[in-house]
Amino acid sequence: MLSVIIPCLNEADGIAESLRALALLRARGVEIVVVDGGSADNTAAVARPLADQVINAPRGRARQMNTGAAHARGDILLFLHADCRLPVAADGLIIDGLNRARKTWGRFDVTLAGRHPMLRVVGAMMNLRSRLTGIATGDQGIFVTRALFETAGRFPDIALMEDIALCKTLKAFGGPLALRHRIVASGRRWEKHGVLRTILLMWRLRLQYWLGANPDTLAKIYVPHKL
């Protein structure tokens, strides 16, 4: 069984559309788990009729995803951002792909949706970087068997870079399944703050993280650039 875990915070305007996009997967038996981090709007109320579980958790993407994983019933866990859209056959791609490749975790390629022509380049570079490094980001829809997720210690309780930190641990157990089928992720943050400016910010944050900077400090830099 596959469980899709979606951490949310103040997503009332878009969460219904996101969950309706998962209706076919849900009809095929995929479990949809929404984890609300204390939204000030009615995110949880909007999500409840469209998900199998809507859970409250302490704010913070890592904490929310770990809470969702603890409540989920699936043998495979897929962590999905609220503004990302999965391929229609995502369940089969993940389950069959892991079995065929004899792997225990992986991710999709990503396309950034938006009007700016550079977004296609950014998405292509994200996919290339991921293939070269074996590291995925949350926008790529990280999926992992429950057994490996627990063995790896779950997402570390840090304010930023939790996806990269988890992937570093997962790599010790084998490389990821890199599916070329694409998740469509929103490019709204990139367009709002400027594509080039956002690229430079993300490079800066990742470099500082690799050099040992405290994720709490990095989060204070990153948060003003979120929507």
The single-letter code of the amino acid at 4 is: V
Phi, psi of 220 (to 5 degrees): -65, -30
Going from N- to C-terminal start, the domains of the chain cover 2-186
Task: Give the mean pLDDT of the chain.
Answer: 92
DSSP assignment letter at 48 = G
Q: Which two tokens stand for residue 157?
A: 């309780």
Share of the chain above pLDDT 70, in %: 97
Q: What is the pLDDT of residue 187?
A: 82
Over residues 60-101, the pLDDT tens digits come to 999 999 999 999 999 999 999 999 999 999 999 999 999 999
**Cα(25)–Cα(29) distance, integer angstroms:** 7
Over residues 101-122, the pLDDT tens digits come to 999 999 999 999 988 888 899 8
Over residues 139-177, the pLDDT tens digits come to 999 999 999 999 999 999 998 999 999 999 999 999 999
Ramachandran bin of 9, using left for φ above 0, alpha for ψ from -120 to 50, beta for the remaining angles: beta
Identify which has the larger pLDDT, 30 or 194: 30
Q: What is the pLDDT of residue 206?
A: 77
Domain 2-186, CATH = 3.90.550.10
Contact 119, 112 (CB under 8 A): yes
Over residues 198-216, the pLDDT tens digits come to 778 877 887 887 778 777 7
